[in-house]
Structure 1
Amino acid sequence: MLISKIKIRNFRLLRDTTLDLKKDISLLIGKNNTGKTSFLVLLEHFFNSKKFQYNDFPISIRNEINSINNDTRIDDLSIQLIIEIQYDGNDNLEVISDFMLDLGPDIKTVKILFECGIEKNLLLKKIEGIEEDEKVKFIVKNLNKFLKTKIYAFDDSEHLECEDYFTEYRHKLIPKDLKNVTNLINIQIIHARRNVASSEDSNSKTPLATLTTAHFNSKNDSELPDDNINAINTLVSNMDKKLEEQYDPIFEVFLKNAQDFLNISNLNVKSDIQSKALFENSSQVTYGHNNDILPEHLNGLGYMNILYLLLEIERKKDLFEKQDNSINLLFIEEPEAHTHPQMQYVFAKNIKAVLNKINNLQTLITSHSSHIVSHSNFEDIRYLKVEDNNVEIKNFHTELKKKYSKEPEHFKFLEQYLNIQSAELFFASKVIFIEGITERMLLPLFIQQFDSDNTKDDKEYIPLASQNISILEVGANAKAFAKFLEFLDIQTLIITDIDTTKPQTSEAGNAIYKACPVGNGDYTSNATLRYFLDSPKEFKDKDWGEWFKGLIDDSLTSKHNNIKIAYQSKENSHHARSFEEAFISLNIKKIKDNSDVILGLKLKSELDSNTDMYDLTNKIIDKKSDFAASLLFLALSKDTQWETPQYIKEGLKWITN
């Protein structure tokens, strides 16, 4: 038995949102403000009977609420949470009998509706006679007083195509109590606000010690404490007896005086140590070896956060076991809080083993951490994305695999890249793909210069350096990301080389494509350009010449609206074939002036004699990484102002908007 699907309507950005759950862990990820926390808050509101407010309703339906009248279809404005539960013949059907409305052998699903609706008649009566402007103010301030939460069992299996089922077939909804649901489903939440801090205040109870105390007390309060708890209580009782023997001589004079003054007999001082109080006031979490023990607050925040999470999970496990529900749902919000990348990796690597020890458990984890994502199973990922003022939750692995059905090798590469290299693409607002090491080292410098120039001219300009942009080196594999970028709908700039070649015939009679200056080229060996700019399939195609002319003129557009391809164009009467050639042609004088300290060059004498930039670049570049590092060093330490190639400037301008 498990929760297979959760649907949400009319709650904040969750206008019409569906989540398909895994049987064990579902990892909810997405950019900021995509509804991850709202998802958690909604569950809390319904399961803990918390009050909803006006601002919990989506902006898109507030005008209808503000202008409510007798004709308003009020059921369409309700906040709804629908939980679908799948079961089979091996499950205990007694626990879901309250929700089984069809006993047919083919029916293996029950559905529960939580609904927060507006009591229209009461609200209309209250605002009758109020001026329109005042009506809106009243509704905004007081709507919570006219909201009522109800729970229903329903079966829409015969009306799956009906979009207004809860309005058209309202008479088929069977009212239920919250107790009916909580007897079936136990929801526990570990919030991101975990009060983990490194305070050294000796008078305050540290978070871990507080949590261990709560954990001990919950076990001690159990109707059937385990043997370890009983052993602690026995030790405390024995301590009471021994202390009483020591109390008698200490309090002998006091007791005698009390008896004489007040004529009280059999007055004694008894020891009454409570294990709960003893644990609460005299325990702490420490770490270290032998005599080298350090207190909790000297742990780093990352360690404290992981320890706190583990203790919280253990406490939730006790609650699950105590209530013994058929479905346990644990929600962990942003486990990466306060935690450095290594600890995030440790969490992702080990969390499943910890959670697998809890029976009947499904877990929802929200995260902004690329480290957690990259070390997780991609089949667990649910990607949240805002489209048309509504949050869509995409089943990452299943949906993307379908998109790559004709390119399985690209999908395999993508999985491996995201797992090994970087999963930050999931959280980026924009992406810049670069091809080689030279661009990777120098692009941050170009961005800095671009920001500096634009900030001078436009005071409202938002620097690229402050935007959420991921810069990734992908070599010649950019096309493997195309469907992934489409899936995430991320604005992407691809900086690459025009890589012109001249078709020739080898001695064996085979066609070969030899690198050549742009002016001599008829073809490009760059698969990224051919793919994104939609070239004819073969050089021999009749449309190839026209397409290649468009490539040279930079008049082609990407077949993907949200992706721009930036490559070398004619600048200062020269059309470079590669980044290095474009950079050298623009900065030849400064390179000559600094040739003694620029590494990665050979045949430096060519700088003074060779005016053919294509030939010069091929002759003098020895090691690209050393060359780029030297250029960067001169810019940062000597304030050398390198010129940025125009095609890169245009690309940066495009991704700014």
Structure 2
Amino acid sequence: MYLKSLKIENYRKFGSEDNLIEFVTPYHEVESKSVSNATTLIVGKNNAGKTTITAALKQVVNDELLTGNKFNYNYLRALLESYNEESIRDKKVTLPYISFTLKIGLDADPNIFSINNISDFIDVDDFDKENSDKHIAVKIKYEVKEELEYISSIDSLLSKCKDRRLSDDMKFREFISLISNDVKFVKKFYDVEGNEVSDSKFRVSDLIDIKIINANLDDNNRTLSDVFNKIVKYKLNIDAGKSNRNIIEDNIYTINKNITNMVGAEHNSSVNDVVGSITDKSNMEVSLRSNLDFSSMFSKLIDYEFKENGNYIPEDQFGLGYKNLMKIIGQLIDYIEKYDLEKIHHKVNIICVEEPENYMHPQMQELFIKNIDDALNLLLNKTRKEINSQLILTTHSSHILNSKIHTSNTFDNINYLTSSNNGNTKSIPLSDTSITGNSTAEEKVNSLRKDDLNFLKKHIKFKVSDIFFADAVILVEGITEEQILNLLISEENELSKHYICIFNINGAFAHIYKPLIDKLEIPCLVITDIDIKRKPEEKGEGKNSSFTQITSLIDRETTNEVIKTYICGKPSSNEDKKPVKLPEALNYYESENGRFKLVYQKDAIEKYYPSSFEEAFILTNYDNLILNKTLKELKPNIYKRIVGKDRELDYEKNKSSSYEWQKKLSSSKSDFANTLIYHMLSSGSEHPKMPSYINSGIDWLKSKLNA
């Protein structure tokens, strides 16, 4: 059996919508023996609700005490606002509740279901069907035990708040206190049809076993020694190690006897002489003896050291990242060693590692999945156990997320957590299928081909995983836009307080990223080039050619795949890379959901239509001192030919030569960006302006982030 999904309702950060968490099948059920394939990843920014999921599992399995602070606050506030004199008088009061729905996949012999007392939740007819999705759904609901008593308590609360003229915040605090201290809750079980299963001996702890590994290191300098000593003690306690334990205890007895004799012979008489001077020796006599035993030997006497370059390093001097990794591996070893096939083979076994990236540098985070994969494979091969466990990782590390996607080559088994408009946690289970879906008319245009999806999964290694933790993302085509926009955002108060991921996609491929970004529900600004198709003679190629300035877009074509897809309505395809004619009326593109904006050079600047960011930037700032200083440093001979010598400068010629500048800078865009930024940061001259199409995009992004 294995956990397929968990639905959390009204618990902590989760409300009643977008509250489904999906899990992958256990390790040994997957064809590829890779932890990345068999790991469920819970990702999201800080305070997104990742810890709530593990807390919910612990609540369900351990049946922890329910308090007011465990309820979703938005849910409780709405309840409190609904209570009034009329609803109390008519006894029409909505009662608070928390529920958890477990969907359990059944892949075992039905004869063993009695072990877990889950027969009441099984549809036997459905189970007998071939090729059916065999599962049960168990809903655990915490409900108010005494409705009339609750209504009476609410009546008293409202009266007290009214008499004392308490503020809304104080009134809510009193409500939380009432639920924590005065309201009694009862736990009930419901089946997949919503029918209550009463008089059942079922307990969640009989069905699920959960191991939480908290990766945070404590202040104890013997953290790892404590972990590994537990493992050694366990192995010495089981049958295979009892002979060794007997030898150890014989040695402990001998050590105690020898130390006692040495201590007693030298000190007992002198100590008791002092005692005898205070009181009668017949009433009190002191005996000093050695008290070493099996447990204290491990907790106090045995230390672990690390060998590095031939030297043995004390545990408290080793790097925190390695200590953290070793602590996680140590707890996994402890779990595997104690895994009793007879007792829990028929349970749902869950191992949850919370935020393993703590103290680890980026490279170690990147290799974390592989390190755990290697460790588990080695352990399982040594113990020869086939452990039916599911591994869950909660993380806000883009490196671990990248490792998961890159090694397993799939977006499956990732639960992305974000915040909904009302502040509740919103869970978005990701998969290859969900990203390539095409249910709506717009999605049919945006749906990904298999090759595009594979490209996206491979390209995830190059910074794309950062978008999972961003407030917004900007997709640009080149390094110039990327670097200048980074500077612009750092200087913009409205933008600098947000985490905005600027991603250079090195080409017009924004349509490939859009389905994933849509799933993540974050604002995405795409800044692309119109890429006007020119004939060779218009590009300065061949005899009698020139660098032609574009003064009209009528009957002009574009080679840009993003423009072709969203502006021209011609979806990109691998087979058809032909230029497409631009429509007569050009506009920016904004998606139906309002989270995707495409801007490009649709308007003339100084009477000319630029084809690239560099050309648009030059046309916008043709007379700017910083821009001209940059052009002169990078291309002194071309600058002298176009603009003139020092005393005969004609900045106007930059406008009529903007396309030539674009062509001449095409092989040195990085130098152009770096030199430009250097002068912007070091010069007191007026900074260049951004082209109007980029300003339009930035204004849109501000409106989305500050909505």
Smaller-chain TM-score bracket = 0.7 to 0.9
Q: Cα deviation per residue 1:393-414 (whole Å; 9 max; x = unaligned)?
A: 3233331243476622221111
Q: Is the 8 A contact 1:603 1:619 kept in 2?
A: no
Q: Does 1:466 align with 2:516?
A: no
Give the C-alpha shift of residue 469 in structure 1: 0.9
Q: Quote the residue 2:177 is aligned against.
A: 141
CA distance in 2, matches of 1:177, 1:401: 44
Q: Does 1:628 align with 2:673?
A: yes
Give the C-alpha shift of residue 652 in structure 1: 1.7
CA distance in 1, matches of 2:123, 2:612: 70
Give the C-alpha shift of residue 266 in structure 1: 12
Give the C-alpha shift of residue 448 in structure 1: 3.6
Give the C-alpha shift of residue 494 in structure 1: 1.0
Q: Does 1:125 align with 2:152?
A: yes
SS of 1:517 mapped into structure 2:
coil
Q: Quote the residue 1:18 is aligned against.
A: 20
Q: Does 1:114 align with 2:158?
A: no
Q: Compute the TM-score of the two structures, normalised by the length of structure 2.
A: 0.76
Match of 1:528 among 540, 551, 562: 562
Q: Quote the residue 1:584 is aligned against.
A: 618
Q: Quote the residue 2:34 is aligned against.
A: none
Q: Is the 8 A contact 1:3 1:83 kept in 2?
A: yes
Q: Does 1:394 align with 2:391?
A: no
CA distance in 1, matches of 2:60, 2:7: 13
Give the C-alpha shift of residue 366 in structure 1: 1.1
SS of 1:22 mapped into structure 2:
coil
Q: Cα deviation per residue 1:159-188 (whole Å; 9 max; x = unaligned)?
A: 4xxxxx3xxx44xx234457x332332112
Match of 2:204 among 159, 181, 186: 181
Note closer, same or farther for the CA distance 1:428–1:602 as it changes in structure 2 (3 Å cut).
farther
Q: Does 1:250 align with 2:266?
A: yes
Give the C-alpha shift of residue 124 in structure 1: 2.2
Give the C-alpha shift of residue 650 in structure 1: 2.4
CA distance in 2, matches of 1:297, 1:129: 57
CA distance in 1, matches of 2:373, 2:565: 40
Match of 2:402 among 365, 370, 374: 374
Give the C-alpha shift of residue 36 in structure 1: 1.8
Letter aligned with residue 692 of structure 2: Q
Q: Is the 8 A contact 2:525 2:598 kept in 1?
A: yes
Query: Superposed, which structure 2 residues align to 1:466-505 within 5 Å?
Result: 466-474=497-505, 475-502=507-534
SS of 1:423 mapped into structure 2:
helix
Match of 2:641 among 569, 591, 606: 606
Gaps of 5+ in 1: 160-164, 198-203, 456-461, 507-513, 539-543
SS of 2:53 mapped into structure 1:
helix
Gaps of 5+ in 2: 27-38, 128-133, 163-170, 439-445, 539-545, 573-579, 645-652
Give the C-alpha shift of residue 65 in structure 1: 5.1
Note closer, same or farther for the CA distance 1:339–1:537 as it changes in structure 2 (3 Å cut).
closer
Query: Superposed, which structure 2 residues align to 1:220-619 within 5 Å?
Result: 226=242, 229-244=245-260, 246-247=262-263, 249-251=265-267, 253-254=269-270, 262=281, 269-289=288-308, 292-318=311-337, 320-321=339-340, 324=344, 326-355=347-376, 357=380, 359-376=387-404, 377=408, 378-387=411-420, 389=422, 391-403=426-438, 407-449=449-491, 451=492, 455=493, 462=494, 464-474=495-505, 475-502=507-534, 517-521=549-553, 522-535=556-569, 548-551=583-586, 554=587, 557=590, 561-568=594-601, 569-589=603-623, 590=625, 594=629, 598-599=633-634, 603-609=638-644, 610-611=653-654, 612-618=656-662
CA distance in 2, matches of 1:580, 1:35: 43
| More deviation, 322-331/591-600 | 591-600
Q: Percent identity?
A: 24
Note closer, same or farther for the CA distance 1:485–1:255 as it changes in structure 2 (3 Å cut).
closer
Cα RMSD, aligned residues only? 3.7
CA distance in 1, matches of 2:436, 2:688: 44
CA distance in 1, matches of 2:627, 2:281: 107
Give the C-alpha shift of residue 432 in structure 1: 0.5
| More deviation, 491-500/40-49 | 40-49
CA distance in 1, matches of 2:70, 2:269: 68
Give the C-alpha shift of residue 306 in structure 1: 1.3
| More deviation, 50-59/182-191 | 50-59
Q: Quote the residue 2:5 is aligned against.
A: 5
Note closer, same or farther for the CA distance 1:242–1:140 as it changes in structure 2 (3 Å cut).
closer
Note closer, same or farther for the CA distance 1:224–1:125 as it changes in structure 2 (3 Å cut).
farther
Note closer, same or farther for the CA distance 1:268–1:406 as it changes in structure 2 (3 Å cut).
closer
CA distance in 1, matches of 2:58, 2:488: 48
Letter aligned with residue 5 of structure 2: K
Note closer, same or farther for the CA distance 1:591–1:182 as it changes in structure 2 (3 Å cut).
closer
Q: Cα deviation per residue 1:586-619 (whole Å; 9 max; x = unaligned)?
A: 3444268535873366633233255523343146
Q: Quote the residue 1:509 is aligned against.
A: none
| More deviation, 370-379/591-600 | 591-600
Q: Does 1:78 align with 2:97?
A: yes
Q: Compute the TM-score of the two structures, normalised by the length of structure 1.
A: 0.81
Q: Quote the residue 2:31 is aligned against.
A: none
Q: Quote the residue 1:207 is aligned against.
A: 223
Give the C-alpha shift of residue 480 in structure 1: 0.8
Note closer, same or farther for the CA distance 1:78–1:72 as it changes in structure 2 (3 Å cut).
farther
Q: Cα deviation per residue 1:45-103 (whole Å; 9 max; x = unaligned)?
A: 2333322233433314543356274644757x421112222224546614545111246
Note closer, same or farther for the CA distance 1:281–1:601 as it changes in structure 2 (3 Å cut).
farther
SS of 2:525 mapped into structure 1:
strand
Note closer, same or farther for the CA distance 1:603–1:629 as it changes in structure 2 (3 Å cut).
same
Note closer, same or farther for the CA distance 1:558–1:549 as it changes in structure 2 (3 Å cut).
farther
Note closer, same or farther for the CA distance 1:565–1:121 as it changes in structure 2 (3 Å cut).
same
Letter aligned with residue 465 of structure 2: A
SS of 2:358 mapped into structure 1:
coil
Letter aligned with residue 144 of structure 2: I
| More deviation, 108-117/368-377 | 108-117
Write 1 or 2 for the structure with the bigger share of strand.
1
Match of 1:647 among 693, 698, 707: 693
Give the C-alpha shift of residue 331 in structure 1: 1.7
Q: Is the 8 A contact 1:533 1:558 kept in 2?
A: no
Note closer, same or farther for the CA distance 1:82–1:131 as it changes in structure 2 (3 Å cut).
closer
SS of 1:314 mapped into structure 2:
helix
Q: Is the 8 A contact 2:139 2:191 kept in 1?
A: no
Q: Cα deviation per residue 1:411-435 (whole Å; 9 max; x = unaligned)?
A: 1111111145431122212000110
SS of 1:594 mapped into structure 2:
helix
Q: Cα deviation per residue 1:366-394 (whole Å; 9 max; x = unaligned)?
A: 11111101111332312234446452332
